[in-house]
Amino acid sequence: MSSPQCFENPPNLNSGVHGSGNIQELGGVKSYVTGPHDSKLALILISDVFGYEAPNLRKLADKMAAAGFLVVVPDLLYGDYFDLENPQFDRAAWLRAHGTDKGCEDAKPLFSALKSKGVTAIGAAGFCWGGVVVVKLANSSDIDMQAAVILHPGPIPDDEYSEIKVPVALLMAENDNCYTPEKAKQIGEMLSAKPELESFVKIYPGVSHGWTVKYKVDDEGAVKSAEEAHHDMLNWFIHHVK
């Protein structure tokens, strides 16, 4: 997450929007859980640097849950969210404490915890920081994951994309300091060159990094662009997590 865009437009955690789900401990991680608890299909949504309490992320989780998925949004930052309002905030120390390798390892117990509840198929989506985590999960051979959606991720080496093992959708912004449209297309070509891997790459015009969860609710155009990506994400999971 070397782009300033990763840290722009922080959510209002005091908005009063908490979602229709509840907080549970799952796989040793405090998580927002929403949707039918007897569903055999589950989704794990991994936040950006601003954490699992973000109102737009919770609303998205509830939207996915309305399609029949049990949705889990884990607090992989353990309440220690990126805090631009704090003049004493140490950005470098925060990034060291919250590496994406650690995020990946901390997320893995969620898969076995869901399986122990009778879930038979799991997809994972990640946003910015969480997108990097989900790519690492999609590379892993020690978890059972059926599909991944990566939304405006932070920087990821090409070799990590090439090691993805599950059907993957990459949803990218036209205006993204981490990925130019040309770079996103290059990654798409690399993924499509693997005939055994189903992949989908889409570049959304006129939007910037983070648009799927950091939109302003009173900006009709921004909401429409975010909802387009949400629709594409849901369709990918409906097709592959079943």
pLDDT digits (tens, 9 = 90+) for 220-233: 999 999 999 999 99
Q: Quick check: pTM over 0.75?
A: yes
Structural domain span for residue 56:
4-240
* CA–CA dist 111, 138 (Å, integer): 12
pLDDT at 22: 97
Are the CB atoms for 172 and 190 separated by under 8 Å?
A: no
- Residue 228 CA, chain-centre distance (Å), reads 16
Q: pLDDT tens digits for 159-181?
A: 999 999 999 999 999 999 999 99
Token readout for 156 is 């990821």
Residue 1 reports pLDDT greater than 70: no
CATH number at residue 97: 3.40.50.1820
Strand ordering across the sheet containing 22-26: 22-26, 29-34, 70-74, 41-46, 121-127, 147-151, 168-175, 199-208
β-bridge partners, 22: 33
| Domain total in the chain | 1
Token readout for 7 is 């840290």
Q: Dump the DSSP string for 92-147.
A: HHHHHHT-HHHHHHHHHHHHHHHHHTT--EEEEEEETHHHHHHHHHHH-SSS---E
